[in-house]
Structure 1
Amino acid sequence: MTDEDWRLSDQETYLHGRKFRWAAWWPYRDGWDHDHCDFCFAEISADTTGHADFNEAWVTADDGYHWICPQCLEDFRTRFAFEVQAGPPREPSGSIGKLR
């Protein structure tokens, strides 16, 4: 990853060194129906109609507020010194948590 990666937008100020765990999406507040990956903006939701990109992803372990898709966590794990508490089950298709 380079500093020019389009997905970077000052996330280091609030994500560096954070712990993440794999989870099915849930609404952080009443009325919320989705979140977005903090890097690539992929939609993460409990939606099962195929609208959301993921229904499971990485979420900050301490507050459950920030969500990161599997590819972005892998891409930025070292740079941001992410700690991972538990990983997703491996699926033969490679579509971990991906709905479409």
Structure 2
Amino acid sequence: MAIYQINKGINKPIEFKGLKAQYIGYLAAGLVGLLVLFAVVYILGFPIYGCILLIAGAGTVLFMQVYRLSNKYGQYGLMKRGARRFLPEYLKFNSRKLFTRSK
């Protein structure tokens, strides 16, 4: 008879070294962008040490920003913040029929 371990992480957000949920994807996309930037800058003929310093600085800023957003907004906070732009400032009704007829 096979013995299976119970997955105790059900319904918990994915977390990797302090990054929660979608921020792992943001960091991965940023690192791929830095790799492409390094290739482009190197092909354009910049000195290798200049390229490394540029990418190291940009990578440091990327890590700091992604971790700051992850700590500030959490799993769904950044999406909620972005969705807030689409909420109307106010709702205007000309009559109360909508509310008085509902049962």
TM-score tier by shorter-chain length is under 0.3
Look at both structures and tell me which one has the larger radius of gyration over its CA atoms: 2
- Indicate the structure with greater strand content: 1
User: Structure 2-normalised TM-score?
Assistant: 0.19
